[in-house]
Structure 1
Amino acid sequence: MTESEFIAKMIPYAVADMQRSRIAASLTIAQAALESGWGSSSLTVKANNLFGIKGEGPAGSLPFRTTEYRNGQAVQVTAKFRAYHNWGESVTNHSDLITGGVSWNPKLYTKAINVDGKTAAREIAAAGYATDPGYASKLIQIMDAYHLVQYDQVKEDEEMSAEDKQKLADLEKELQTLRTLLAELTVSRDTLKTGVQEQGQTIKGVAERLAVIEGRAVMNVPAWAEPAVRAAEAAGLLDTPSGGSYDFYRMLTVLNRAGLLVTGKGV
């Protein structure tokens, strides 16, 4: 497997996992490349272990010789490493380790979460993820050489499938109807208040219907949807911001762009 082939195979896993864990895709790819020798290590070939994580994995464990640094000196030791059924399990386990830390310090790698890849590399190294004193610089060299930071910013349009785009088009039509209803409200204070309340219920109804549309699995609030979620909470239209579907957060984003997530305060 060439380095380009390795990166191409890693991108879908790293980017998809980034949406869940907020671990920069560039960090995931660079660590996998460094730890696995670009997918050629015996640990990766035999156990699908991309990151050299020790312990018991979904497919058991395998003993391997490894290099560790003690007092700045490289030494060879034998240890048990986790085995996985596929690369996806390895990537998920890697991110879970970063987000969940270790038993004696669950927040050990917190500073490596929700930051750019290079910052994450420095923070994870500073937290003691690896014993190699040059670990961070090696990761950053890989990121620079293969322009991996581009995968940390997933463009919304590139994420959308044809089905997603159709759903958004249907939403736009429904929003146009809502805009028309809002425009037809009278300037009377009492009437306007009533209209805003009615429209709020209508929007909330749309949100409830869209929340059950078949689509992506329940997920945490993605960064691109945070402004819309905050607006919906302020408008009293959203009780639980996290745990929505992919389509639900896209719907909120469209509503927010249309200026319909309003509180009605001061009206």
Structure 2
Amino acid sequence: MTREQFIKRIAPIAVQLRAEGSPIFPSVRIAQSILETGGTINPWNNLVGYKVGGGAITPYWQGKSVRKLTWEVYDGTRQDRVPADFRAYDSIEDGYRDQDLLFEKDRYRRVREAENPEEQADMLYMSGYATDPNYAVKLKMLMASYGLGRYDEEAVQLRKEWQERLQQLEQRKQALQARLQTLRQALAMTEIPEWAKEAVERAVQSRLIDTPLNGSYDFYRLLTILKRRGVI
């Protein structure tokens, strides 16, 4: 899989989640996925290096994990071949959504509140998501190299389209509710229309009906037609 194919595969997911309200900019999410995996989709669908941690089950992670060797930086010194347990997911989207749950913690408040992708990359490192001191720099380089900012714009546009569609549906709903109210009134009129009173009186006199009230518009119209035709 080429780097371009990798980006094409995950970008729509990152864009959709952002449009739905994810705190992570698509450009940051894609860059992080490239950095953490080298641009390959691993069989356990964890593209962001999310470790098992406390192990609490979530709606998107059911406890499955894989043990892999990685590297960390401790006290300024890189240590290779460090064993770590990473979360395993049924899908890439589950992995991203589970990560969003992680970012709801107060520890990642600055990540959520970042006003732009570059600041968010800085805050990921500052919040302790990774131990590599060059983590934010690497993310920014990937975002710039592959023009990932365009996916941030796509997310904004998609959210705008959804909001416009929602507004249209709301307007349609209001119109249908108004129409329904009109129909209900037509089906259960509490007063006899002026134009139908004579026909109703004739219908009562001829014992065609017992009570003239609570008829529908069509009911009164039918009585009027019967009167005009001399039936009542």
Alignment of 1:26-41 (within 5 A): 26-39=27-40
Q: 1:246 matched to which residue of 2?
A: none
Q: 1:18 matched to which residue of 2?
A: 18
Aligned-residue identity in percent: 31
Q: CA RMSD in A?
A: 2.9
Q: 2:111 matched to which residue of 1?
A: 112
Higher relative contact order (CA 8 A, sep 6+): 2
Provide the C-alpha distance between the structure 2 equivalents of 1:208 and 1:52, rounded to a whole number of angstroms: 49
Alignment length (residue pairs):
165
CA displacement at 1:164 relative to structure 2:
4.0
Provide the C-alpha distance between the structure 1 equivalents of 2:142 and 2:77, rounded to a whole number of angstroms: 24
TM-score (normalised: structure 1): 0.55
Secondary structure of the structure 2 residue equivalent to 1:21: coil
Matched, 1:71 2:72: no
The residue identity in structure 2 corresponding to 1:79 is: A
Q: 2:47 matched to which residue of 1?
A: 50
Q: Deviations over 1:43-91 (max 9, x none)?
A: x523111011111543601111111111111112111110001111111
The residue identity in structure 1 corresponding to 2:64 is: G
Q: 2:148 matched to which residue of 1?
A: 148
Provide the C-alpha distance between the structure 1 equivalents of 2:51 and 2:175, rounded to a whole number of angstroms: 44
Alignment of 1:38-187 (within 5 A): 38-39=39-40, 44-55=41-52, 56=55, 57-58=61-62, 60-75=64-79, 76-98=81-103, 100-101=104-105, 107-114=106-113, 115-153=115-153, 154-156=155-157, 160=161, 164=165, 168=168, 171=171
Q: Deviations over 1:163-192 (max 9, x none)?
A: 949x83994xx7xxxxxxxxxxxxxxxxxx
Provide the C-alpha distance between the structure 2 equivalents of 1:47 and 1:134, rounded to a whole number of angstroms: 26
* 8 A contact 2:111–2:127 mirrored in 1: no
The residue identity in structure 2 corresponding to 1:144 is: A
TM-score (normalised: structure 2): 0.63
Q: Deviations over 1:98-152 (max 9, x none)?
A: 2x23xxxxx1111222522111001111111100000000000000001111221
CA displacement at 1:15 relative to structure 2:
0.9
The gaps in structure 2 that reach 5 residues or longer are 56-60, 178-232
CA displacement at 1:18 relative to structure 2:
1.1
* 8 A contact 1:59–1:85 mirrored in 2: no
Provide the C-alpha distance between the structure 1 equivalents of 2:22 and 2:175, rounded to a whole number of angstroms: 25
Provide the C-alpha distance between the structure 1 equivalents of 2:107 and 2:51, rounded to a whole number of angstroms: 17
